[in-house]
Amino acid sequence: MPRRSRQFAPSLPGWGSWHAAAAPRIPVRAGPTRQPRWLTGPGRRAASELMPPPPPPPPPPPAVLCYHRVGGPLELGVTRVPTAVFERHMEALARDGWHTLTLEGFATRLQRGVVASCNEFLLTFDDGYASLAEYAYPILDRLGFTATTFLITDHVGSLNTWDVRYTWRRLAHLDWPAIEHWKARGLEFGSHGASHRRLTWLSDAEAAAELERSRETLQRRLGPDAARAVAYPFGARDARVQRLAGAAGYDLGFGGVRGNGSALNVSRVPVYLWDAGRTPVGVRRDVVGRLGRAIAHVANRCAVGTSVMQGVRCWVSGVRGPYPAPNA
């Protein structure tokens, strides 16, 4: 029969307080949590060492600037840059050691992931106004710069009847003799659509016709090299428009300020009237550059108003499809 013992100590008066006072106090120090040997042995490595390092981020593409009008009559819009401002921009970039890229050079850096030099940029013009040959191109020729001009092929040699009227008189576009002259001097040309319609608002058939007709005109007049790149009118593009551009045969597609780095969604920074500093904000990497690009993005989005006015004008005039014919 098991022995039973009586517990006297807990019943004694004051036992608890006396025991607590008499018991020695042993300091307890916090130490590292011990891991099982199978986790810490010499044959075991940390999980972070077993995981492959994350791939490095893709190199940033070269900066792309987008001018529209340079010099010529004043306008109520914001896309005209005075000749003196454009000349100051280009001369400052030349003094700072910047170099312009050709489309081929830009595509090589973009597609192969080549790290762009910090002083390389692609210079572009949209719409192809005749004032470029009078004011902008001679400055580039003097500085040894090249550029790409995106043409509205249905309006080459005609007036800008496709646009909302921001000037007292309609503005002239470059004609084919002037384009061929400056192409021979090293400038490049691409597509800005056939009639400057917002492609994202068109059906597949209409958007494809705009892209294909413009490319066919450029190939016929200037050769295959002139038909490799398109600047989407108003910078408006989505996955569907990019797919149609690729199907039409374009290798490069330029949009607005925010692109995703793919060949058919290249970002550009427009240069507007207020961008009158020493250098355009599109090549700056500081706070001023980031703020300027954000403002340019908002201004570019406001161009939807021009698209709405174009649609209203076509509806009022009973025109369906392309905008009114040149010189109408």
Which of the four pLDDT bands, split at 50, 70 and 90, describes residue 12? Answer: very low
How many helical (H) and strand (E) elements, i.e. helices and strands, does the chain have? 12, 10
Q: Does the structure show a pLDDT above 80 at 262?
A: yes
Q: In angstroms, rounded to a whole number, what is the distance separating the alpha carbons of residues 181 and 177?
A: 6
pLDDT one-digit tens code per residue, 217-231: 999 999 988 899 999
Q: Which of 149, 158, 155, 154 is nearest to 179 (CA)?
A: 149
In the predicted structure, residue 206 carries a pLDDT above the cut 70 = yes
Cα–Cα distance for residue pair 173/309, rounded to 1 Å: 21
User: In this structure, are residues 211 and 250 in contact, taking their beta carbons and an 8 Å threshold?
Assistant: yes
What average pLDDT does the structure give for the chain?
83
- Indicate the length of the chain as a whole number: 328
The full set of domain ranges for the chain reads: 63-317
Overall average pLDDT of the 116-126 stretch: 88
Instruction: Quickly state the pLDDT bin for 295 (edges 50, 70, 90).
Output: confident
pLDDT at 66 over 90: yes
pTM of the model as a whole: 0.78
CATH (one of 3.20.20.450, 3.30.1180.20, 3.20.20.370, 3.40.50.970) for 63-317: 3.20.20.370
Cβ distance 321 to 162 under 8 Å?
no
